[in-house]
Structure 1
Amino acid sequence: MQRVPDVSHVDLAAVFDVLPTPYAVLDTDLRFVAVNRAFLESSGRPRHELIGRLVFDVFPDNPDDPGTHATANLEASLRRVLRTGRPDTMPLQRYDVADPDGVFRPCWWSPVNAPVLDEAGRVVLLLHRTENVTRYVTERQAQRFDPGVDLYDDPEDRYRAEADLYVRGQELRAALTAEAVLVERLAGTVQVALQLSGAQSVAELTDIVIGSGLGVLGAGGGAVAVRTPEGDALELTLTDSLGERARRTFQRVPLGSPLPVAVAAATGEVVVLRDVEAALGFTPQMQEVVTSTGLGTWVSLPLQAAGRSVGGLTIGWRDPQDFTDRDFELMRAYAGQCAQSLAALQAHEQERRVAGEQRRLSEALQRSLLTAPFEPDHLQIAVRYLPAAAEAQIGGDWYDCFLPPSGTTTLVVGDVAGHDRDAAAAMGQVRNLLRGVSIALGEPPASVLAALDRAMHHLGVGVIATAVLAQVEQSPAEKAAGLRTLRWSNAGHPPPVLIAPDGTARLLQAQPDMLLGLDPDAERADHATALEPGSTVVLYTDGLVERRDAPLQDGLEWLRATLEQLHHLSAEELCDALLARLDGSPEDDVALLVLRAHPEDGPRPAEAGPQVLPPAAPGAAPPVVQP
């Protein structure tokens, strides 16, 4: 007997919030009680604008297109659920939604409303589930004029396929009658359809189909046949009930095989073998099928989606069957659900493979630029890069440190907008351009950033970026006193943090200048502060302090307070400890650079490691390191 897992400890509110499909809970007055994150993202509204408000006050009809009757149709569905206590699936509904600026944009939705009942069977809440299928409807309309459109080449395949699943669900319900056996099969099929919509891989989908679905149809066993990428063969996953011999023999069959499942997949026709005699008369190869499985009656259906074959579904029974039209309608609807889920998953897996390749290329590019820092005498530099939690995306965050000919230690942390290979490539352009400008000019940070902005404009580097550029300076008088000066300029970036030798941390806040890439003539300012021996400077990107549900100032204060707690650690240890204090995985990439200024009246501390200088150009004199 299969063990039922104990889910009593599961936080169902947390599960509701992370469901990938938009859901909202309404009270019986049709006011919002709860919404999940997917609903917030789909609707474009913050949570505080929804909770406690009437649904139609938040989402009114488009005054320029009242003919859609969107609010009236939705209210009618919700009232039916309140009146009957049964779920109500609406047809695809055009329901335009206003942008934050008040402009309505055309939207199509696939809504389902369901009751939440108390112990007495009374409706106490309404569950509203909806999916934005605007792109799906748009492409369906385009397909009327262009039959060559393939719905599954677009990254939104899963959403469009899910909309198709609901249409298939409508067909499935229409195929059933009031007979008890069909009602039971419907209930089981709906459960299987829900499982199919949550499948994360083709292997998981086939497990659901053969493990749960075929039993719903009262079958003794069966198989899902998935067309190979080459298209010339089918890979079969068989139920355990068919036996090991059948699984070995029919694991893979050519598409041109005379077996019923191959014929169905190749021709798009349903193959029905009502008894052993019909099976053996179809092709001599069915003798091995009947012998190895013990099943004599077979129905094989094609699995098709968007006009293309993705495989076949074959179902077997031990005894002869007297199939009715309703039986075939049920099997076709079930095969349609399987085909849509399978096609969507194949498209999604292809998308993930492509995205994975792109991510690896971007990561290789970014890692090649985020090299280990040099270590000037009595200055220790530690760096870290932490990718965002979402699929470990690589983007435009970077750190850098280098020595211009003057020998002034130069530090940079910046962020080019974006989270893909284009952002990583643009980051490489900006980073290297900044290096060249700084080395060529030999000017303070503000002048370097201003020149970088002009160079980006004239060279057509069409990106927007933020950055902090800092230089560690030391005049002869400062060297005699054991002091240094930190000079920096801020182009729209979060402020650096300075930790004093006594552990007190403060934000080096000044009015930030304009972001890079907006105005090549923008004025930029330098700022300076004393850098005492034992001081630490922390530069970082916004992924360290920005949180979706909290103001930026809260994140900055968290950083300042945390650095005070960690000030006693070495630069390397401080980096690791600071990243470990993050509450979960970051929502954005994090680039981190920590500079520790050690006293110069003694040998270089052991914690700083050996001195490492950047390589000199061939034939050039070694750089003169000031600090």
Structure 2
Amino acid sequence: MSTFGIDYAAVFQALPGAVLLLTPEFVIADANEAHLRLAGRERHQVIGHFLFEVFPGNPDDPDASGTRNLRASLERVLATGAPDTMALQRYDVEAPGRPGVFEERYWRPVNAPVLDADGRVRLIVHRVEEVTETVRAGTGGRRGDGQRTAAELSTRAQELQGVNERLRRANAREREIVLALQEAMLPAPRPVGHHRAAVRYRPAVGALNVCGDWYDLAELPGDRMAVAVGDVVGHGLAAACVMGQLRSALSAATRVVGGPARALEVLGIYARSVDGAESTTAVQVIVDWTTHTISYSSAGHPPPALLHPDGTVELLDRATDPPLGARPEHVDRPEARVSFADDAVLVLYTDGLIERRREDIDVGLGRLADALTRHRGADAEALADALLAELLPPGGATDDTALVLIRL
């Protein structure tokens, strides 16, 4: 506590640079006056709103990457708890009072975490410097006073466009690398014992928003199968590497411990030693065809869905606990069991299949249940294709989607 009685709220508002305070869900908690002036927004238009609703991407520019790059940077801050300085970005801004009209703007953003006593990210400081302001200011006036000629302005604009193009190409190249890495690490579709699982992976449409999701299947003694899916916080190459480590660790733990809860406990302990692994969500089920039962445990992951032969859908949500590494001390994870009949269908998935911006997750779960019921007569492969076709957005999802489907 300062002995000078400093009013830090007043300091924040007086900062000469443009700053936003964001929650971990990227909701704008506060904006200083410099940012409001720069963005041309009133306080009530930004506070309490989702960042990418207030400042959406330009839908008329297919190459615009500012929104995707900013989201990736913010997710890196959440995953690492460290500041992230972004390269020069083109991020067009919707003109105040003119919906759908975007102005070409260039920015230098920096994102820094505000940590609590346990080292968790509670807020993100998002500071931006607009580098196009001087370009706009240089359209008139005397030479020699810091303003530029039309030719100089044109040259600067071309340089900025060149930087944006290089960033786009670099992002596309990273996408190719991480997708190739993920393909090498995830198991190829194959029968597990005499049972067949349909598996699907669909990468996000953004250049950097890929490779946090994973799945695993393992044959166990006694006509049993272990199935797991998980979602690593963050995207890109770092998330792909974390994903590979966690998938391998869970696959090994499953073969030596008793049940999905114990396997997730072991994985949670391991995750604390892997940078970027904390807050990963995962769920594992063990299907036993001898007893016709499914044992399951979830670490903060969306619930598996069990489609019964009569068309009813049961969400397996009675053994849910926080994500990996969320608790400072070890606590036994819960485990539940459910019976199934022949010809039932088990579905595990990641949140890209059901979650949509500004929509409650129950709406997405309802869509999943409805699609399963309507297509319940299809074989596993056809049903998996039908779910992706109906549930993913037409233009592609902004998050990875992993799907594992087994007809029991």
Normalised by the size of structure 2, how large is the TM-score? 0.69
Larger Rg: 1
- How far residue 341 of structure 1 moved from its aligned partner, in angstroms, is 1.7
1:570 aligned onto 2:385: no
- How far residue 510 of structure 1 moved from its aligned partner, in angstroms, is 1.6
Q: Is the 8 A contact 1:95 1:108 kept in 2?
A: yes
1:429 aligned onto 2:240: no
Distance 1:65 1:561, change over 3 A: same
Q: Is the 8 A contact 2:17 2:35 kept in 1?
A: yes
Distance 1:462 1:164, change over 3 A: closer
1:168 is matched with which residue? 135
2:163 is matched with which residue? 347
1:526 is matched with which residue? 335
Q: Is the 8 A contact 2:312 2:373 kept in 1?
A: yes
Per-residue CA deviation, residues 381-429 of structure 1 (Å, 9 max, x unaligned), is 1010111122373221011111245552110111111111101100000
Q: Secondary structure of 2:216's partner?
A: strand
Distance 1:94 1:373, change over 3 A: closer
1:400 is matched with which residue? 216
1:413 aligned onto 2:224: no
- How far residue 333 of structure 1 moved from its aligned partner, in angstroms, is 2.2
1:463 is matched with which residue? 278
2:153 is matched with which residue? 337
2:93 is matched with which residue? none
> For 2:12 and 2:267, how far apart are their aligned partners in 1?
52
Matching residue within 156, 159, 162 for 2:88: 156
Normalised by the size of structure 1, how large is the TM-score? 0.46
For 1:578-597, list aligned pairs within 5 A: 578-582=387-391, 583-584=393-394, 585-597=396-408
Q: Is the 8 A contact 1:471 1:488 kept in 2?
A: yes
Q: Is the 8 A contact 2:259 2:286 kept in 1?
A: yes
Aligned identity (percent) is: 31
Stretches of structure 2 that go unaligned for 5 or more consecutive residues are: 1-6, 42-53, 56-84, 91-105, 109-128
2:263 is matched with which residue? 448
Q: Is the 8 A contact 2:174 2:208 kept in 1?
A: no
**Aligned amino acid, residue 160 of structure 1:** W
Q: Secondary structure of 2:311's partner?
A: coil
1:489 aligned onto 2:305: no
For 1:64-83, list aligned pairs within 5 A: 64-65=10-11
CA root-mean-square deviation: 3.4
> For 1:431 and 1:439, how far apart are their aligned partners in 2?
13
- How far residue 589 of structure 1 moved from its aligned partner, in angstroms, is 0.8
Q: Is the 8 A contact 1:366 1:394 kept in 2?
A: no
- How far residue 168 of structure 1 moved from its aligned partner, in angstroms, is 2.5
Distance 1:403 1:393, change over 3 A: same
**Aligned amino acid, residue 298 of structure 2:** N
Higher RCO structure, 1 or 2 (CA under 8 Å, sep 6+): 2
2:95 is matched with which residue? none
Distance 1:106 1:454, change over 3 A: farther
> For 2:389 and 2:154, how far apart are their aligned partners in 1?
44
Q: Is the 8 A contact 1:412 1:468 kept in 2?
A: yes
Stretches of structure 1 that go unaligned for 5 or more consecutive residues are: 1-60, 71-92, 115-127, 130-152, 176-324, 479-483, 598-627
> For 1:156 and 1:392, how far apart are their aligned partners in 2?
16
Q: Is the 8 A contact 2:178 2:240 kept in 1?
A: yes
Matching residue within 498, 512, 515 for 2:320: 512
More helix per residue: 1
Q: Is the 8 A contact 2:204 2:398 kept in 1?
A: yes
- How far residue 98 of structure 1 moved from its aligned partner, in angstroms, is 5.8
Q: Is the 8 A contact 1:489 1:525 kept in 2?
A: yes
Distance 1:460 1:96, change over 3 A: closer
- How far residue 587 of structure 1 moved from its aligned partner, in angstroms, is 2.3
- How far residue 340 of structure 1 moved from its aligned partner, in angstroms, is 1.9
> For 1:339 and 1:381, how far apart are their aligned partners in 2?
57
> For 2:31 and 2:255, how far apart are their aligned partners in 1?
51
> For 1:416 and 1:396, how far apart are their aligned partners in 2?
5
- How far residue 565 of structure 1 moved from its aligned partner, in angstroms, is 1.0
- How far residue 343 of structure 1 moved from its aligned partner, in angstroms, is 1.6
For 1:257-272, list aligned pairs within 5 A: none
> For 2:39 and 2:207, how far apart are their aligned partners in 1?
30
Q: Secondary structure of 2:226's partner?
A: strand
- How far residue 372 of structure 1 moved from its aligned partner, in angstroms, is 2.2
- How far residue 473 of structure 1 moved from its aligned partner, in angstroms, is 1.2
- How far residue 471 of structure 1 moved from its aligned partner, in angstroms, is 0.8
Corresponding residue pairs, total: 318
Q: Is the 8 A contact 1:543 1:590 kept in 2?
A: yes
Q: Is the 8 A contact 2:12 2:32 kept in 1?
A: no
